[in-house]
Structure 1
């Protein structure tokens, strides 16, 4: 558990501190001294009486009581040292920089488990092992650089990788991104990314806590904890962006159905991030850029004015924003004409607003004022201003800073001349500003931020299902696929609309059932997993003689135990499936059927349970959504009914977690209804 001794210690000891600042123990001590830690600072080094000007203890037993121990000693010495510190020195917080634990071998894993047991025994807090440490407003407990400028309203950054934490800080600091705290959790032996995020949520104070959180995650061990506290923070007004690496490994595993083949742990990560409202990034620069956008006023609409003195970057930014679903609206009319008169001949105000390489700070001010006050179809401004190196541009950047203070619409400074006007950019950043040196990276990130999902409500509205009947079916079922009769009962109990059907193993009963359902009918074999592959599906059966003939043929197909019949329905093929994903719970997936799922894999996923609005979002994000809306005179599909099946599937997964995999394929959708034609349910208790 995170405690005050870890966050704001009155005293710190560096065990393994040295005069060699090229070693972790020496560098972390130097960083603590340079950061002017206000408490008592101690060092343990068995060979020295003084280290970096501080008294050094040769034995841990000789220390006074100490709140926090930062350890830079060999892994094998850590358990005994922690034993002494917890039992004799009242130490309740530990940062273990050392490697050689679970990341290395089984022996290291045992050492790590022993350490966690000792720390937990005193309700202590442990960061690491195998990490760079912890950095906050109270102390520089890391052995790396850079040490960013700390600001209470800077970002809180939690990283599963120490090196990546350094590189992301290096990506952000030169651009002006400020940090409030940096947690490098290493092996996450006790405290991982999820636990730190939980702490930030539970201790959040409006007006005092940072509103931007960054995460670098390699393993999500507690997805429900991540979901709960990320969505809680975002509902409180925070913004969260994350990189989750290592997603490609799971994508190749084979599966026995559409859902299994489409589902993967990386799809689950996407789904849980979307459900929480986290912006997913795929690299360090993108994460730093998204964080920098978060630090600006929120963009309220999708219309952007591009203000530039350079043509090429404006074209590339226009492409990036347009491809990302934002608008670069045309600007015209008397107020546009009045602005044009203030600019040099050859300038353009149609958007992008190009005021040429010779444009002045005064002209930039006129353009920004017009976008702020005169052009109602503008929601935000991207200002591109570099330099060929002919003259200083301090006046331009000073004016930009002033306008950013005055304007309600967000202004994003894109200052690409990081060499020619490095001094001017440094001065601009010193005013508390952030630079976006790459216009395409900025455009892509802004689009992603603008279109980010809202977090689900704390208490989502879940459809009611017949839990008693569902539990009865599941409790009585064995592992494996449910029989068609039980599948029908389960769909009815879950409130999922299905086609009428009959299952028989007698020829005369099959004819009677077909006549009752009404011709034409569809006949399918019961037993084989992939019915169509073995000739086990016959469409448009119109009379009793054909029923008899096909019954005789189909019952000879290997593994067939009965014949299932349904009325011949028409409509657009749809798909809904569910798959239990380790640790995440159930993923529900939805999309168009047929080629859209077989070849294009055009599906979207969400973690159960699923609200109506979340289901509508799954539908509307499909690449083939135009078909659902109705194209070229075709009737639309009833989105409300489609969403209803998705939400009821989610509710069924909550009621029956023993369902390992389930397909509704196909569903047939029309403008009146959406009906499940075929379903498979696999139980794995």
Structure 2
């Protein structure tokens, strides 16, 4: 829906423009004029003939033809104004700054829909309402400041919040960030964050388009669109970072299964971002810092050399990197000794490489050259160089700039003296560089970028399942939890290995089934949700007498309808579950099972469909992954079979979207098998 009239209008009318630059209509007009918009500017003001030196028209009906309308008038006047402009003035792009629409009342929502209908009728486009506007190198159609420096290779920034867009720019501009475009979508009445991203993907040209996209999202309304176009852009060479606010657990719903309790909307967002390859940020400073990292060559390995003339920041950066899975490797050997001889006495090259407060630009150059050419265990350099204010440091920053141009390994400039050498930093930024003023924020952000996986393939390869058998079961049942027999049929049809089992309703059946399955067996109640909490699980039943006695006891437990018997198996307790999440489809979760899922909450989630390869990536990202590998002589879990189990569950819910929740908990994992020993599946058609 983004069109040429929005991006490069030849004429703009400010409806509600005024001389009062403390009001949106006055300030947006001032920004258009001050920023040198080259097209024709018109103003509509019912009381004035001239506004800020621009001819004013008393009514939109008096206007000539105009490409873009920026509106700063009361909401109640907007629908009629839009209709006149679309039908009589050939206006095909609108930015509505005004509030008072669906965010305020039902009546406002109706006004908003009238506007959208009028614009859609002529294939026009709308930014807003209730936004700060839109700007690019052609014009500054916003009523706010700052107006950033525009650069074709700067950032495309799309925000669901106008004020937050301002604050994020204020966080980024002092670091040296430039922008290509800024979209504040406000109420997203016609176009939201996802729609603008779609346009940026469909028009992407690696030679001319911006390679960096930043997003601020308050609600993901079109997850399929976001996933498709974000991952597409990243595959084309873009880098995308985003903030998704509203991640607390306060809004999560109560649920009857482990999966339901953990599969919150924010878990879905996290899974979507990971699947797309989006770097998720927690706040404005982190987003601006990640964007600054994007402006450097990609980090190919995890080994960082810290080059510093100040000990404290180097220690803090070492902690930040090391605590987040990056390495600050020890540097030693003949080449390290040769470097040390060229530095002042008291320097250290062990890493951090400390060349003292008296170190010079020449010393810095020698160190960078050694890290680039001599030390194979260095993948990137972080240079910390501030100043106590004793002398200018232009020569240091000029050398740093030249080395950043010539070195193949990334060099990240951490220049913390934003007051003492502010002029030198401004001189450095003017060369197109960025600054990381805080080493810890930088270290945390660098690790987050490094650990964000690449986008998953657009088409997931899934294991083969018996679609006909799955549909037969689903089509033949009602809403609610399935019977054990129906669960068994679904698991078999999906190729999910399960323990042999029997469901019995009498003492005699229990004894007979236990003998057939082979002692020892485990007995579980059928019906109660949390079996162990009500005494509904008995392990190591080794003879017929015990089986009969336990049946008599367990069948009287509240809500129990039958008893399930299974062979007594051993292994690491694992968990796989699925939950249908509004708009996102199915989330599939995995982690350690049994009581660990309640205690540790160490789970990872993906959005179905999930290939075995994708499942493997988030199994390896579990905090408890070492347990799966086998620790202190324990038998490891077959990770390929575990990943296949996750993929098969995703294939099952893809074929049977009526599955609302399901738990496989626990599965028992060993080096040769992964077997489901308990399962619950809830249907909501």
| Deviations 1:101-154 (CA, angstroms, capped at 9, x unpaired) | 111122211111111111111111010001010111221111111110000000
Gaps of 5+ in 1: none
Q: Which residue of 1 aligns with 2:364?
A: 364
SS at match of 1:187: coil
Q: Is the 8 A contact 1:251 1:266 kept in 2?
A: no
Aligned-partner Cα distance in 2 for 1:35–1:332? 54
TM-score, length-normalised on structure 2?
0.99
Q: Is the 8 A contact 2:305 2:382 kept in 1?
A: yes
Answer yes or no: is 1:624 the counterpart of 2:621.
no
Q: Which residue of 1 aligns with 2:413?
A: 413
Q: Which residue of 2 aligns with 1:205?
A: 205
SS at match of 2:417: coil
Q: Is the 8 A contact 2:594 2:665 kept in 1?
A: no
Q: CA shift at 1:535, angstroms?
A: 2.2
Gaps of 5+ in 2: none
Q: Which residue of 2 aligns with 1:541?
A: 541
Q: Which residue of 2 aligns with 1:505?
A: 505
Q: Which residue of 2 aligns with 1:579?
A: 579
Q: Is the 8 A contact 1:277 1:452 kept in 2?
A: yes
SS at match of 1:216: strand
| Deviations 1:550-592 (CA, angstroms, capped at 9, x unpaired) | 2222222222222211111111111111111111111111111
Aligned-partner Cα distance in 2 for 1:534–1:312? 56
Q: CA shift at 1:621, angstroms?
A: 1.2
Aligned-partner Cα distance in 1 for 2:554–2:673? 31
Answer yes or no: is 1:342 the counterpart of 2:345.
no
SS at match of 2:600: coil
SS at match of 2:546: helix
| Deviations 1:217-257 (CA, angstroms, capped at 9, x unpaired) | 11111111111111111111111000010111555532212
| Deviations 1:7-43 (CA, angstroms, capped at 9, x unpaired) | 1222111101111111111111111112222222111
Q: Which residue of 2 aligns with 1:193?
A: 193
More moved, 34-43 vs 281-290: 34-43
Pairing of 1:546-625 with structure 2 (within 5 A)? 546-625=546-625
Pairing of 1:68-217 with structure 2 (within 5 A)? 68-217=68-217
Q: Is the 8 A contact 1:250 1:264 kept in 2?
A: no
Aligned-partner Cα distance in 1 for 2:223–2:27? 35
More moved, 547-556 vs 285-294: 547-556
Pairing of 1:425-444 with structure 2 (within 5 A)? 425-444=425-444
Q: Is the 8 A contact 1:250 1:265 kept in 2?
A: no
Aligned-partner Cα distance in 2 for 1:171–1:103? 27
SS at match of 1:599: helix
Q: CA shift at 1:405, angstroms?
A: 0.8
Aligned-partner Cα distance in 2 for 1:343–1:530? 67
Give the length in aligned residue pairs: 685
Answer yes or no: is 1:304 the counterpart of 2:304.
yes
| Deviations 1:60-102 (CA, angstroms, capped at 9, x unpaired) | 0001111111001011110010010111111111100011111
Q: CA shift at 1:496, angstroms?
A: 0.7
Q: CA shift at 1:533, angstroms?
A: 2.3
TM-score, length-normalised on structure 1?
0.99
Aligned-partner Cα distance in 1 for 2:467–2:408? 51
| Deviations 1:189-235 (CA, angstroms, capped at 9, x unpaired) | 11000001111111111111111100001111111111111111111
Aligned-partner Cα distance in 1 for 2:329–2:249? 42
Q: Is the 8 A contact 1:250 1:266 kept in 2?
A: no
Aligned-partner Cα distance in 2 for 1:116–1:188? 10
SS at match of 2:220: coil
Q: CA shift at 1:508, angstroms?
A: 2.5
| Deviations 1:612-646 (CA, angstroms, capped at 9, x unpaired) | 12111221111111111001111101101111100
| Deviations 1:366-393 (CA, angstroms, capped at 9, x unpaired) | 1111111111111111111111111111
Q: Which residue of 1 aligns with 2:530?
A: 530
Q: Which residue of 2 aligns with 1:373?
A: 373
CA RMSD of aligned residues (A): 1.1
Q: CA shift at 1:510, angstroms?
A: 2.7
Q: Is the 8 A contact 1:299 1:450 kept in 2?
A: yes
Aligned-partner Cα distance in 1 for 2:669–2:320? 36
Answer yes or no: is 1:656 the counterpart of 2:659.
no
Aligned-partner Cα distance in 1 for 2:553–2:317? 63
SS at match of 2:667: strand
SS at match of 1:350: coil
Q: Which residue of 1 aligns with 2:473?
A: 473
Q: Which residue of 1 aligns with 2:644?
A: 644
| Deviations 1:642-682 (CA, angstroms, capped at 9, x unpaired) | 11100001111111111110000111111110000000000
More moved, 387-396 vs 457-466: 457-466
| Deviations 1:395-428 (CA, angstroms, capped at 9, x unpaired) | 1111111111111111110000000000000000
Q: CA 1:67/1:426 → structure 2, altered by over 3 Å: closer, same or farther? A: same
Q: Is the 8 A contact 2:252 2:265 kept in 1?
A: no
